Copies of this chain bind each other. A is one copy, B any other.
Amino acid sequence: MSDPLRLGVVGLGRGFALSARAIAAHPGLRLVGAADPDDESCRAVQGAFGGRIYGDIAALAGDPDIEAIYICTPHHLHRDHALTALRAGKHVLVEKPMAVTLAETHAMIDAAEAEARQLIVGPSHSFDAPVRLAAEMIAAGAIGAVKMIHALYATDFLYRPRRAAELAGDLGGGAVLGQAIHQIDVVRRLAGVPAQRVTARTGGAWDPARRVEGAYAMLVDFDGGIFATLTYSGHGHFDGDRLMEGISELGIRKPDRHRATHPRLHATADEAAARRARRFTRLEDCPQPETHEHFGQVIVFGTQGDLRLTPEGVELSDAQRRSFHPAPITTPRAEVFDALYAAIRHGRAPLQDGAWGRASLEICLAALAGARSGAVQPLQFQR
């Protein structure tokens, strides 16, 4: 990686903070510009990475030195920010979910095509090294034909300090756009074929104090008769990391105790301020993973064996034996920036391109619609 990519970033909140160490450590990247309305965050990034700071996406996109822009702004701003970047000739890496509506994704994909720029959606947990290893093992025939996929996770998503938009369904808040998108990405990658339809339930907003869905269950049908169940709660009660060897979503070993998210939130006088406190401050304060990231319990059932994903690799159980296959050690999220580099420097677009991001968002939106109506939802942007 002799010619590092010159990267800009817009949105210096939690999403960026979670990727900052991977960016800093990546030999193929240099963060040369950052934009955010919050001056303090801008100065913090400049302190950590050097580079130039801007007040908004338009100014950032006008920096001729920047080749690609990483969009970490709130979900409902993704479309406008991506279009601004693409039309200024920048490649785009946009956080999941790619956008909030399908119309927004169409515009983003069209713009990327018109400008002949790369459009990549990530990070998402489909990039995690154990997911990639599992997909490779499946492709190599380790479990015969994939038949059924199971995914379960339970977090405290809904009760971490939140901005108002994160609790507003029409702005892309809620567990489906914010969290199912990961599970769907992972399950799609492992199924390896297009989804056909989704049957989903959320039960609406379980807590009148958090007026958005915080949980869901889905049954997704794929081509070839593959089916998947996805179950998730972000209500902060049962801790799904206990099914993942006590390792958090971000790859950090946790003490075996109740995480007490609710009492902490109740003790918080100013939730918005608490949310701001989770923005990027210093590299040293960003989470430091010890294993790969994960998104909870995932088991793939095949005709000849089953795979269980762990934070450190893949466990294969077939007719004869159980074996553990460690995923190559990397910096978590390095995979995402490897993909960005390969796309731009070598023209090799990753799986998680605009069409991929649209397909995953379509499943989320169909799940929300199906949860409201009770009906099975067909899908049309999966190919």
Contacts and interface: CB of A to CB of B under 8 A. Distances in A.
B319 A262 contact: yes
A83 interface: no
A203 interface: yes
Given A147-B215, A229-B231, A238-B317, 13 more contacts: A148-B215, A154-B301, A199-B376, A201-B221, A201-B227, A203-B226, A215-B301, A217-B227, A219-B219, A221-B374, A237-B317, A237-B318, A238-B299
Interface string A208-222: 000000010111010
Interface in A49-92: none
Contacts of A2: none
Interface residues of A, number: 52
A346 interface: no
Interface of A: 143, 145, 147-148, 150, 152, 154, 199, 201, 203-204, 206-207, 215, 217-219, 221, 225-229, 231, 233, 235-239, 243, 257-258, 260, 262-263, 299, 301-306, 308, 317-322, 374, 376
Tallying the copies of this chain within the complex gives 2
Top 9 A-B residue pairs of the complex, sorted by shortest distance between their CB atoms? A262-B319, A238-B306, A201-B227, A237-B306, A237-B317, A258-B322, A229-B229, A238-B317, A147-B203
30 contacts: A143-B237, A148-B215, A148-B231, A150-B217, A150-B231, A152-B299, A154-B301, A154-B306, A199-B199, A199-B376, A203-B225, A203-B227, A206-B303, A215-B301, A217-B227, A217-B229, A218-B219, A229-B231, A233-B301, A233-B306, A236-B319, A237-B301, A237-B318, A237-B319, A238-B301, A258-B317, A258-B322, A260-B320, A262-B319, A263-B319
Nearest to A322: B258
A28 B149 CA distance: 45
Nearest to A208: B303
Contact of A148 (B203, B258, B305, B321): B203
A284 B322 CA distance: 32
